[in-house]
Structure 1
Amino acid sequence: MEPAEYDLMDAAEERMWWYRALHARVIDALRRRPGPAGALLDAGCGTGGLLRRLVALRRPLAGLDFNPGAAARAAAKSGALTVAGDANRLPFDAGAFTALTSCDVLCHRAVDPPAALAEFRRVLAPGGTLVLNLPAYQWLHSAHDARVHNDRRFTARQGRTLLGAAGFEAIEARYWNALLLPLMVLQRKILRPDADHDSSDVAPFPPWLDATLHGTTVIERAAGRLGLRYPAGGSILLVATRP
């Protein structure tokens, strides 16, 4: 990502509605499908917001980010062991982890999805859980994607296909941020269709707006827990098992 984007992430990820919603869904998935007892890796940990929340799961944690400065911030924020490295060539032994999270990493232009997924499978022990978040729909590509060096967005079917080809099983792929998708389309394609590459979606929101947006994601999450599945959304959460 652009260096300034890490600064924005570091400042916003504790409070901003989108990060809070994402982290809650990742933790929900891990509580529902924890995998065997053992260590968890957050591959592409950024400045450590998710790692800090994963402490609540009470398991050994490690993080990896391509940017050494971000990895250092993640270590300071979470207390987890973090290293600088490449998702395409993870610097860990085979079977070192029993769960692995990776949020908005396979979309990055420097990441080769099949190579990264092969590495995720290699470092996971048999029975280990993989939790991925991916941005949805290539037609939603925007100035923010350019700023964070995202080259690709996905559909749920594409996500399932990638994980199946990489040898994962019991694959779930669910859209989320569904209720706010119309606002995403409005903001990205109508209000700012030609925004330059200095534009970022990560920024402080007025407290009333942040609370409203987060409350919408809470309602959506609660409905999902009751079994409601959304046919579309701004992001895709995938959960799978390494056989």
Structure 2
Amino acid sequence: MEPAEYDLMDAAEERMWWYRALHARVMDALARRPGPAGSVLDAGCGTGGLLRRLAALGRPLVGLDFNPAAARRAAAKSGARTVAGDANRLPFAEGAFAALTSCDVLCHRAVDPTAALAEFRRVLVPGGTLLVNLPAYEWMHSAHDERVHNARRFTASSARAMLESAGFGTVEARYWNAMLLPLMILERKVLRSDAAHDSSDVRPFPPWLDATLHGVTAAERALARLGLRYPAGGSILLVATRP
């Protein structure tokens, strides 16, 4: 990502509605499918917001990010061990982790999804849990994608097929951020010009607006926990098992 985007992430991820909603869904998914006992790797940990949330699991944590400065920030924020490295060539031994999270990484221009998923599978123990978050729909590509170097977006079916082709089993793919999708379309495709390619979706929101948006995601999450599944959404959360 652009260096400035790491600064925005570091400042926003503790409070901004989208990060809070994502982290809550990751924690829900790991509660449902924790995998065997053992260490958890956050591959593409950024500046450590998710690692800080994962500490509540009481499991050994490791973070990896391509940007060394971001990895250092993540260590300071979370207290986890972090390393600088490439998701395409993970610097860890085979079977080193019982679970692996990777949020909005396989969409990145510098990441080869086939190579990265092969590495994710390699470093997971048999029975280990893989949790991946991805942005949805190529037609939703925007200036923010350009800024964070996203090269691809997915559908639930294409993302599920990608994980299955990589050798993962029991793949579950769920759209989320469904209730706010119409607003995302309006904001990204109608109201905002992408001509300058300099706009980020990560920014301070007025407190009332941030609270409102988070309230919508919390209501959606509560309904999902009751069993409601959404046919579309701004993001896709996938959970799978390494056979």
Partner residue in 1 for 2:99: 99
Gaps of 5+ in 2: none
Give 1:191-206 correspondences, 5 Å limit: 191-206=191-206
Partner residue in 1 for 2:53: 53
- Amino acid corresponding to residue 231 of structure 2 in structure 1: P
Partner residue in 1 for 2:113: 113
Distance 1:223 1:193 in 2: 34
Partner residue in 1 for 2:185: 185
- Amino acid corresponding to residue 187 of structure 2 in structure 1: Q
Q: Deviations over 1:128-165 (max 9, x none)?
A: 00000000000000000000000100000011010000
Q: Deviations over 1:35-79 (max 9, x none)?
A: 000000000000000000000000000000000000000000000
Distance 2:222 2:196 in 1: 36
Partner residue in 2 for 1:165: 165
- Call closer, same or farther: CA 1:205–1:195 in 2, change over 3 Å: farther
Partner residue in 2 for 1:74: 74
Partner residue in 2 for 1:222: 222
Q: How many residues align?
A: 243
Identity among equivalent pairs (%) = 82
| TM-score normalised by the chain length of structure 2 | 0.99
Q: Deviations over 1:76-121 (max 9, x none)?
A: 0000000000000000000000000000000000000010000000
Give the SS at the match of 2:158: helix
Give the SS at the match of 2:224: helix
Distance 2:219 2:27 in 1: 17
- Call closer, same or farther: CA 1:195–1:17 in 2, change over 3 Å: farther
Does residue 12 of the first structure (1) align with residue 12 of the second (2)? yes
Give the SS at the match of 2:62: strand
- Amino acid corresponding to residue 154 of structure 1 in structure 2: F
Distance 1:196 1:143 in 2: 8
Distance 2:28 2:205 in 1: 25
Q: Deviations over 1:186-243 (max 9, x none)?
A: 0000001434221100000000000000000000000000100000000000000000
Gaps of 5+ in 1: none
Deviation beyond 2 Å, 4+ runs, structure 1: none
- Amino acid corresponding to residue 95 of structure 1 in structure 2: G
Give 1:10-49 correspondences, 5 Å limit: 10-49=10-49
Partner residue in 1 for 2:232: 232
